Structure 1
Amino acid sequence: MTDRREIDRIVDAALDEDAPWGDLTGEILIPEDATATAELVAREPGVYSGVAVFEAAFRLVDARIRVEAFAGDGDRFGAGDVLARVAGSARGILRAERVALNLVQRMSGIATLTSTYVAAVAGTRARIVDTRKTTPGLRSLERQAVRDGGGRNHRRSLSDAIMAKDNHLAVLTAGGRDLATALREARERMPHTAHLEVEVDRVDQIDAVLAGGADTIMLDNFSLGQLREGVARIDGRAVVEASGGVTIDTVADIAATGVDVISVGALTHSVRSLDLGLDVVVEPGAS
Structure 2
Amino acid sequence: MKKMFGVIGDPIAHSMSPAMHNDLFGFYGIDAVYLPFHVSKENLEAAIKGLKALGVSGFNVTIPHKTDIMAYLDQIDPLAEAIGAVNTVKNEHGILTGYNTDGPGFVKGLASMDADLDSRPALIIGAGGASRAIYFSMAQAGIQRIDLYNRTAGKAEELVSSCPFKVQSKVLDRETAEKSLHEYQLIIQTTSIGMSPDLGGLPLSPENISRGAIVSDIIYNPLQTKFLGEASKKEAKIQNGVGMFVLQGALAFEKWTGIFPDTERMRANVLRNLGG
Q: Structures share a fold, TM > 0.5? A: no
Larger Rg: 1
TM-score, scaled relative to structure 2: 0.34
Structure number with the bigger relative contact order (C-alpha 8 A, sep ≥ 6) is: 1
* TM-score normalised by length of structure 1: 0.33
